[in-house]
Amino acid sequence: MTAAEQLRNEQAAFVAAVAGELNDFLTSRQSIMSAISPDIEPIMGSISNLVTGGKRLRALMCYWGWRGAGGDPSAQQVVTAGAALELFQAAALIHDDIIDRSDTRRGGPSVHRRFSELHGTRGWALDSERFGQAAAILAGDLCLSFSEEAFTDIGERAAAGSRARLIFNLMRAEVMAGQYLDILEEVAGPVRDRAGAVSRAQSIIRFKSAKYSTEHPLALGGALAGASNELLRGYSAFALPLGEAFQLRDDVLGVFGDPLTTGKPAGDDLREGKRTVLVALALDQASGPESAFIDARLGSPDLADEDILEIRRIIEESGALQATEVLINEFGAAAFDALEALPLDELPKTALRRLAEATVSRAS
């Protein structure tokens, strides 16, 4: 078997094991929730549907962090950790879609939209939108609870006071803080000092996305396997800039991505009012009237297609898109340099390199 085949087989086996773990976990909780009431089934169904798809980036980062620190490829602990990360990711996605008023997720209705549609098809009373959002908040909260249960199931290596537990707790707190900074910037950004907009946007992506997408999952796997503090620092030097490149690419796709590939409408981030690094750079580099145009239109849920095209034009012609691509390349280069310096066996190093390449150059 070639090294490439070994990597592919090992990674596929882990992804399948995480899928099986999630299925077993949710099936066991389904029986508990059904005993409360069969009416809970749509919430469980929405969670199951969400954790079925996705790229498993966080679970895979955790796995290769585990393997890089000498962890056994057949161990159950890292599979359970991967499942816990996927459940946390599902919670974050559910709540993020509510906050962003996003009606789609992976090419289909978002969870709050599914519950609004359920309300309509059943002919229930009162407001369908309010019901959809309330039900989705509870579904997200249940995912958070399930994520904690799954992580606790790892056992002693994830016990209170362990390095893995401290990383897991910090990851969750930072995501909530970053999410708040994001919604704060949407409402306060237009009246704040524009000179600090890029710095604020970079802080948001670091804590809302970059750390929990790559840095913390990689460190979590390493900590579970008993990695040294030096190796964990090396993991961070690689994974944090990778996560920042990942989110910057996501921001570009949110404005310029193909809906058939991204699964979201064109210009969705502009309708949601996201003050990303891309947008902050455009506001800083465009002419006064053009910046005023972006400020006036950003966050409008009924943003017209011609307005999206005009904002895209401003972003491109101001140099903001090019500047963002430069940042992506710089963060990517820093990540790859740090990866080469890591004292890892060739298999985990190659796996992390491929994950990094896919993350930086992705189209969805």
Q: How remote is the C-alpha of 321 from its chain's centroid? A: 22
Q: Which long-range contacts (CB under 8 A, 24 or more apart) does 137-141 make?
A: 137/94, 137/95, 137/98, 138/43, 139/43, 139/46, 139/47, 139/94, 139/111, 139/115, 140/90, 140/91, 140/92, 140/94, 140/95, 140/98, 140/111, 141/91
What are the tens digits of pLDDT across the range 94-127? 999 999 988 988 888 999 999 999 999 999 999 9
Confidence of residue 54 (pLDDT cuts 50, 70, 90): confident
Q: Is the pLDDT of residue 203 over 80?
A: yes
- Per-residue model confidence (pLDDT) at position 360: 87
The answer to whether the CB of 239 falls within 8 A of the CB of 214 is: yes
Closest by CA position to 197, among listed 279, 260, 263: 279
Retrieve residue 328's tokens: 């992506």
**Rounded CA separation 108/292 (Å):** 34
Q: Is the pLDDT of residue 266 over 90?
A: no
What are the tens digits of pLDDT across the range 164-190? 999 999 999 999 999 999 999 999 998
Q: Which residues pair with 42 in a beta bridge?
A: none
Retrieve residue 68's tokens: 């890089």
- Per-residue model confidence (pLDDT) at position 351: 97
What are the tens digits of pLDDT across the range 231-242? 999 999 999 999
Q: Is the pLDDT of residue 362 over 90?
A: no
- Per-residue model confidence (pLDDT) at position 169: 98
Integer angstrom CA distances of residue 80 from 18, 148, 253, 270: 7, 11, 31, 37
